[in-house]
Structure 1
Amino acid sequence: MSTLVKEQQEIDVIVKDILADFDGRKNIDAVDIFNKPDKREVQELVKNLFKIVYPGYFRDKSFKIYNPSNSYAVIIEDTFYHMNKQVFLALDFCKKRGTMTEDDRRKESYRICKAFFGRIPKIREYIESDLLAAYDGDPAAGCFEEIILAYPGLIASTVYRIAHELYVEQVPVLPRMMTELAHSKTGIDIHPGATIDKNFFIDHGTGIVIGETAIIGKNVKIYQGVTIGALSTRGGQKLSGKKRHPTICDNVTIYAGASILGGNTIIGENAVIGGNTFITSSINPNTIVSMKNLEMEYRTSENTIATEELHQSEEWYYII
């Protein structure tokens, strides 16, 4: 027997053994790939929803149009069709709804999409408020166009506001797929279950984490590296549905690197949370929280060590 024939037989055995392991008994088995939400289609869905939310900013300029309204009508109808398809597939995974027949899923997916598209004006109203908050809150912002086209915080909050409406309708899988697309692009991780009011501004953004049960009020400003998270997830699925993440009241500013943890933690109105602080209990309204007496260490080539104590003022919170 030639070496080539022997190797082919050995490879055939390997392939056969691996295929036999695709027995459907493992949670990672999904051989029926046409009955699952498609990552690429979800990505395209988000792109088209941006065209609807920001008309004119993200349209395809490779072809000419004489009637923009006709073009938008086509985009809206096409996006409705594709969202309906993905919601239909996602509903097969919804534990809360129980087992659904194919006809029930089809009716429910249409109802959800109809409700979602009916709320697009509300979604756009909230996104407009986020845009204004970014412009008012960032002296580096040159114009609205710069924020829409270049600011990762607005990208992440826009995807969140889209995904949140599907989360409210108890659509499984799909909202999280959407926010994870934004997470991979911006480094900002907002769970679609979080509740975030108007005028929300993320500055810089990288490394921000906002958990599922977080509640954030109006006019909140968050800098890079902030975590609004849970104290512990050791309870696993037993904690599902419980309030695990903090409540941030209106007009709060949270500076870079701060961690605010726990479902019972409430940050009162007008509070300022300084950089690198670690908070696990509630903060009263109108309070400024900052790290005290930081110490810098300097080493010379002769291994001489010098230290300098840094004192924070109310205006010094690790802003970049």
Structure 2
Amino acid sequence: MDKQKIIAELNKHKKLPHLDYRLKEKTESFTNTLFYTLFDVNTPVSENLTILEQEFSLLMDMACWDSHKPCSTVWENYIQKLPGILEKLNLDAEAILNCDPASLSIQEIYMAYPGFYAIAIYRLAHELYKQGFPLVPRLMTEYAHRQTGVDINPGAQIGKSFFIDHATGVVIGETALIHDNVKIYQGVTLGALYVAKNLQKVKRHPTIMSNVTIYANATILGGETVIGENSVIGGNAWLTASVPPNSTVFHTPEIKIKTTSNV
């Protein structure tokens, strides 16, 4: 075995100069610190903000490859958004408590509900995404995805009092627009009809208006698809066209009873 030849071949094919997996690990650490800073009663806010700034500075050094981008101002802008993000997350937690009869306390929502955790990391990532700093937010939401089964692209726009029940299998695409007081259940997909690369800057994912409920395993596709306010989308429904306000959409299963002749 010519070890040096193998090493040379491997180095030749390692073509991405910025592919540093420490960024992934450090982003996960930053995400944990951020979550604890906002919610944990034993975590001092003042001390942790200093720690977060240091961790974020390291992320900047690793991820800000373009010298023309003003990465030095990202943290200053971001920290000003944290009180507003926390206010929204408290509304999300209250919505879950009020909507889910299985919830026993507000503390349970914050500590044990994967839907709340996924929403929290999405909201924290979304503010970074809006500042034109996409990779770290994507790593943050992917970290939450791995833990909860909920895949929310940080580019999605989600209003107040959002509720994801049971969480697993939910997919919300980059250009999805969700208004206030929306409830969705496990397995829901808000996706695109087409995935051609030239549609990157086009709205590809649906708009969900306020007070809509989308039940388990429903699939809603397309950037021009709008689900009108106060509508209910039943489980397993498949939609690629808009629905007017105050509608109920449901999937009708076909039931066949086994008999001796068709068994």
Report TM bin, short chain. over 0.9
The answer to whether 1:242 aligns with 2:202 is: yes
1:44 aligns with: 29
Match of 1:63 in 2: none
2:144 corresponding residue in structure 1: 182
Q: Distance in 2 between matches of 1:124 and 1:142?
A: 22
Of 174, 177, 180, 1:212 maps to 174
Q: Is the 8 A contact 2:115 2:163 kept in 1?
A: yes
The structure showing larger relative contact order (alpha-carbon pairs under 8 Å, at least 6 residues apart) is 2
Instruction: Classify the secondary structure of the residue corresponding to 1:276.
Output: coil
Q: How does 1:113-262 map to 2 (within 5 A)?
A: 113-233=75-195, 235-236=196-197, 238-262=198-222
Instruction: Indicate which of 266, 273, 289 corresponds to 2:233.
Output: 273
When the two chains are superposed, the root-mean-square deviation of aligned CA atoms in Å is 2.0
Query: Which moves more between the two structures, 206-215 or 76-85?
Result: 76-85
Gaps of 5+ in 1: 1-9, 60-70, 93-98, 306-320
Q: Distance in 2 between matches of 1:219 and 1:91?
A: 36
CA positional deviation for 1:303: 7.5
8 Å Cα contact 2:115/2:164 also seen in 1 = yes
The count of aligned residue pairs is: 263
The TM-score normalised by the length of structure 2 is: 0.93
Residues 304/177 of structure 1: CA separation in 2 closer, same or farther (3 Å cut): same
What aligned pairs does 1:14-163 form with structure 2 within 5 A after superposition?
14-23=3-12, 26=15, 29-30=16-17, 33=20, 38-56=23-41, 59=43, 71-92=44-65, 99-100=66-67, 108-163=70-125
Q: For 2:62, what is the secondary structure of its paired residue? A: helix
* Structure of greater Rg: 1
Gaps of 5+ in 2: none
| CA-CA distance at 1:173 after TM superposition | 1.1
3-state SS of paired residue (1:23) = helix
1:216-237 CA distance string (max 9 Å, x none): 000000000000000010x22x
- Describe the SS at the equivalent of 1:22: helix
Aligned-partner SS, 1:228: strand
Contact 2:220/2:238 (CA < 8 Å) preserved in 1?
A: yes
Q: State the alpha-carbon separation in 2 of the partners of residues 198 and 53 from structure 1.
A: 18
Question: How far is the alpha carbon of 1:32 from its aligned partner?
Answer: 7.4
Please state how far the C-alpha of 1:281 moved relative to its aligned partner: 0.4
AA paired with 1:86?
L
CA gap 1:25/1:149 in 2 versus in 1, 3 angstroms? closer
Q: Report Cα offsets for 1:72-96 as digits up to 9, x if no partner.
A: 212111111111221342221xxxx
Q: What SS class does the counterpart of residue 159 from structure 1 fall into?
A: helix
Contact kept? 2:23, 2:62, Cα under 8 Å? no
Query: What secondary structure is seen at the aligned counterpart in 1 of 2:245?
Result: coil
Distance in 1 between the 2:125 and 2:223 partners? Answer: 22
Q: 1:15 to 1:145 in 2, by over 3 A?
A: farther
2:23 and 2:257 map into 1 onto residues whose CA distance is: 53
Alignment partner of 2:255 out of 296, 302, 305: 296
For residues 128 and 19 of structure 1, what CA distance do their matches in structure 2 show?
A: 54
2 CA distance for matches of 1:111 and 1:157? 25
Q: Identity over aligned residues, as a percent?
A: 41
Distance 1:241 1:121 in 2: 30
